[in-house]
Chains A and B, each alone.
Chain A
Amino acid sequence: MTDTLKIADKTFRSRLFTGTGKFSSSKLMQEAIIASESELVTVALKRVDFHSEYDDILMHLKQDHINLLPNTSGVRTAKEAVFAAQLAREALQTNWIKLEIHPDPKYLLPDPIETLKATEILVKEGFIVMPYIHADPVLCKRLEDLGAQCVMPLGAPIGSNKGLITKDFLKIIMEQSKVPVIVDAGIGAPSHAAYAMELGADAVLVNTAIAVSKNPVQMGIAFKMAVQAGRLAYQAKLAAVNQYAEASSPLTSFLNE
């Protein structure tokens, strides 16, 4: 039985989604992404030169198994995001959009209000909307109601590599969500990715941890394996954690005497 993930009309064998920023060269980015076996790769629209037929980033992502996921990083409002999504659809011939609206350029934290507004508009315009948001369970349900095809709550501030510091809220989101939950941002080590998958995430998105590693190709492989291991463990059902040791002199043994 193959375990696949379906988002909208696409089926993915890999549950590791990757980013394209921060690599020391486009070639290394390509090698790391191929090694990771990721099938969905997000690209910041602002980094792509649409005037050039030979845009360096896009050239390196032309692989049959790689689906491009343009993102709106840099926009501050719903209005700007909608405009950017339309531009992406036209230029890249895809109606998939990773919606990132962070008016705060320092921590790049997503604006829940603008994201909700933009999702409503974009869904109506026929986009497959993948919103990057806080680990806010209510917001996730609201986005689902509006027709978002998945939700992408953050584990920690983007680029921080801090892991799943929003764990308790992620668990609620995973429990409640009817659309795939993709943990985005903050995953700094394969162990974090494995943990997210063990908890029941449908996929994870990793960029900085791979790109900034000393050996991005090897780190891409490490994340691939971690995501697979976490997913397998989730399916196999983890044994319950035993809080107390089995006492050698049970407290209730007198009942049997």
Chain B
Amino acid sequence: MSSFKDIFNQYNWDTVKQKVYSFTATDVQQVLLKDEISLEDFQVLISPAAKPFIENLAQRSRALTRKRFGNTIQMYVPMYLSNECQNICTYCGFSLTNKIPRKTLTDEEILKEVAYIKQLGYDHILLVTGEANSTVGVAYLKNAIKLIRDHFSNISIEVQPLNQDEYETLIDEGLYAVLVYQETYNRATYKTHHPKGKKSNFDYRLDTPDRLGKAGIHKIGLGALFGLDDWRVDSFYTALHLKYLQQTYWKTKYSISFPRLRPHEGEVQPKVEMTDADLVQLICAYRLLDEDVELSMSTRESETFRNNVINLGITSMSAESKTNPGGYVVDRQSLEQFEISDERGTNKIKAMIQSQGYEVVWKDWDTSYSKK
């Protein structure tokens, strides 16, 4: 069975990198004359040569986003169910070797968190766990979805990669989307940061979106963790992945996230810095590449940055997020995965979005659509 791996193997990291860093202002000007932006053009738009054209990129990105998504921002909220994890990821607060108290929410605790989140207004929820199959495996996730599906119209998960049949089980229960970031598409760097645990298997992770596509999921979220390696090269591979998936699993919707490394318990410093301007350039380049892809922004980013990027191509946002299990009410002091940056409450974010002329959308799905 063919998968993204076949395409991935046709590219060489260093060659891609060399190319991205070799473009000139003339190349950028040529691309900006085009209506359709190819993957090759995308490489030009994320290159250092495109930096001086950032205002031009931003204007185009904003116009395309408004046309396709209108004046709306979709809201979602993460709910961490567990910080137990058998993996060692050098940059993550939940990493196995971090000596922290571990916690997995019980049914009762989940419902307490749900009640709190609901009164904030949220209807799209993202469930997050570490990877610990004995405690938070498929059975736990299935139960969690069953437990909350009458409370939320749209349920996504960000958990360990699963097998196709396991995804099918969860989709049957009402799962809408799965976010699975490759972290980095550089095999060697990946190995350095994921030395132990199931996550150390680069190829299994790389083929996860294929398994999701085959399982018939409604939406797949892609991304790379910026800071592990060169963001430009990683973003090219992410876009390559996106285009492959769109062609292969054409009934599935896609979203892109932009996590930049944040301080946490493990304290790994970013290897390659990504500035605010870099991130804006990347967001706009994605929009020019694809008018329809959802671009998502979490609370990892600062207030000022978030206030401004909703005008540049971002279409969905979280707010008031807690990245620790039970963080909303049950156990506010449990250890978080990473420190969020924008700590403003939901109402403040809502007001900020509205003041910029956007409608805040809470509900854009109905669970009845997912029923078998």
Contact assessment for B67 and A87 in the assembled complex, using a CB-CB cutoff below 8 Å = no
CA distance A139 to B23 in the complex (A): 49
- A167 at the A/B interface (Cβ < 8 Å)? no
- B134 at the A/B interface (Cβ < 8 Å)? no
- A146 at the A/B interface (Cβ < 8 Å)? no
Identify which of residues 329-372 in chain B touch chain A, using a CB-to-CB cut-off of 8 Å. Answer: 354, 357-359, 361-366, 368-369, 371
Least CB distance from B296 to A in Å reads 15
Identify which of residues 55-70 in chain B touch chain A, using a CB-to-CB cut-off of 8 Å. Answer: 66-70
Contact assessment for A105 and B369 in the assembled complex, using a CB-CB cutoff below 8 Å = no
Contact assessment for A159 and B67 in the assembled complex, using a CB-CB cutoff below 8 Å = yes
Contact assessment for B359 and A23 in the assembled complex, using a CB-CB cutoff below 8 Å = yes
Contact assessment for A212 and B71 in the assembled complex, using a CB-CB cutoff below 8 Å = yes
- B146 at the A/B interface (Cβ < 8 Å)? no
CA distance A83 to B251 in the complex (A): 19
Q: Which residue of A lies closest to B371 (CB)?
A: A83
Contact assessment for B292 and A106 in the assembled complex, using a CB-CB cutoff below 8 Å = yes
CA distance A106 to B250 in the complex (A): 8
Which residues in A have their C-beta under 8 angstroms from that of B357? 24
Contact assessment for B363 and A105 in the assembled complex, using a CB-CB cutoff below 8 Å = no
Contact assessment for A48 and B67 in the assembled complex, using a CB-CB cutoff below 8 Å = no
CA distance A107 to B317 in the complex (A): 23
Least CB distance from A57 to B in Å reads 9
Give the residue of B251, B354, B371 whose beta carbon is less than 8 angstroms from that of A105.
B251
- B186 at the A/B interface (Cβ < 8 Å)? no
- A124 at the A/B interface (Cβ < 8 Å)? no
- B200 at the A/B interface (Cβ < 8 Å)? no
Q: Could you give, for residues 223-252 of chain B, a 1 whenever the CB lies within 8 Å of some chain A CB and a 0 otherwise? A: 000000000000000000000001000111
Q: Could you give, for residues 168-197 of chain A, a 1 whenever the CB lies within 8 Å of some chain B CB and a 0 otherwise? A: 000000000000000000000000000000
Which residues in B have their C-beta under 8 angstroms from that of A24? 70-72, 357-359
Q: Which residue of A lies closest to B251 (CB)?
A: A103
Contact assessment for A84 and B70 in the assembled complex, using a CB-CB cutoff below 8 Å = no
Least CB distance from A134 to B in Å reads 16
Give the residue of A23, A83, A107 whose beta carbon is less than 8 angstroms from that of B71.
A23
- B253 at the A/B interface (Cβ < 8 Å)? yes
CA distance A97 to B361 in the complex (A): 23
Identify which of residues 123-164 in chain B touch chain A, using a CB-to-CB cut-off of 8 Å. Answer: 123, 153
- A74 at the A/B interface (Cβ < 8 Å)? yes
CA distance A49 to B358 in the complex (A): 19
- A80 at the A/B interface (Cβ < 8 Å)? yes
- A95 at the A/B interface (Cβ < 8 Å)? no
Given contacts A24-B358, A76-B251, A105-B251, contact A87 B69 (CB under 8 A): no
Least CB distance from A47 to B in Å reads 6
Given contacts A25-B359, A26-B359, contact A208 B366 (CB under 8 A): no
Contact assessment for B67 and A83 in the assembled complex, using a CB-CB cutoff below 8 Å = no
Contact assessment for B67 and A161 in the assembled complex, using a CB-CB cutoff below 8 Å = yes
Least CB distance from A206 to B in Å reads 13
Least CB distance from B101 to A in Å reads 37
CA distance A132 to B23 in the complex (A): 45
Give the residue of A26, A84, A107, A159 whose beta carbon is less than 8 angstroms from that of B366.
A84
Contact assessment for A159 and B364 in the assembled complex, using a CB-CB cutoff below 8 Å = no
Number of residues in A with C-beta < 8 Å to the partner? 30
CA distance A48 to B368 in the complex (A): 12
CA distance A169 to B53 in the complex (A): 42
Give the residue of B66, B362, B368 whose beta carbon is less than 8 angstroms from that of A212.
B66
Q: Which residue of B lies closest to A21 (CB)?
A: B70
Least CB distance from B331 to A in Å reads 29
CA distance A208 to B69 in the complex (A): 9
Q: Which residue of B lies closest to A161 (CB)?
A: B67
Q: Which residue of B lies closest to A103 (CB)?
A: B251
Least CB distance from B261 to A in Å reads 31
Which residues in A have their C-beta under 8 angstroms from that of B68? 159
- A13 at the A/B interface (Cβ < 8 Å)? no
Q: Which residue of A lies closest to B370 (CB)?
A: A80
Least CB distance from A234 to B in Å reads 29
Which residues in B have their C-beta under 8 angstroms from that of A106? 246, 250, 253, 292
- A61 at the A/B interface (Cβ < 8 Å)? no
Which residues in A have their C-beta under 8 angstroms from that of B371? 83
Give the residue of B70, B246, B251, B354 whose beta carbon is less than 8 angstroms from that of A23.
B70
The winner among B69, B71, B251, B366 for most chain A CB atoms within 10 A is: B366
- A43 at the A/B interface (Cβ < 8 Å)? no
Q: Which residue of A lies closest to B353 (CB)?
A: A24
Contact assessment for B70 and A211 in the assembled complex, using a CB-CB cutoff below 8 Å = yes
Which residues in B have their C-beta under 8 angstroms from that of A44? 364
Which residues in B have their C-beta under 8 angstroms from that of A47? 361, 363-364
- A99 at the A/B interface (Cβ < 8 Å)? no
Which residues in A have their C-beta under 8 angstroms from that of B292? 105-107
Least CB distance from A213 to B in Å reads 10
Contact assessment for A104 and B67 in the assembled complex, using a CB-CB cutoff below 8 Å = no
Which residues in A have their C-beta under 8 angstroms from that of B369? 46, 74-75, 80, 83-84
Q: A47-B361, A208-B70 are in contact. List 18 more A-B contacts (CB 8 A).
A: A23-B71, A23-B359, A46-B153, A46-B363, A46-B364, A46-B365, A46-B369, A47-B363, A49-B153, A83-B369, A84-B369, A105-B252, A106-B253, A159-B68, A160-B67, A211-B70, A211-B71, A212-B71
Residues on B lying within 8 angstroms of A by beta carbon are 66-72, 123, 153, 246, 250-253, 292, 354, 357-359, 361-366, 368-369, 371
Provide a sorted-by-A list of 9 A–B residue pairs whose CB atoms are within 8 angstroms: A22-B69, A24-B71, A47-B361, A74-B369, A105-B253, A106-B253, A107-B292, A161-B67, A212-B70
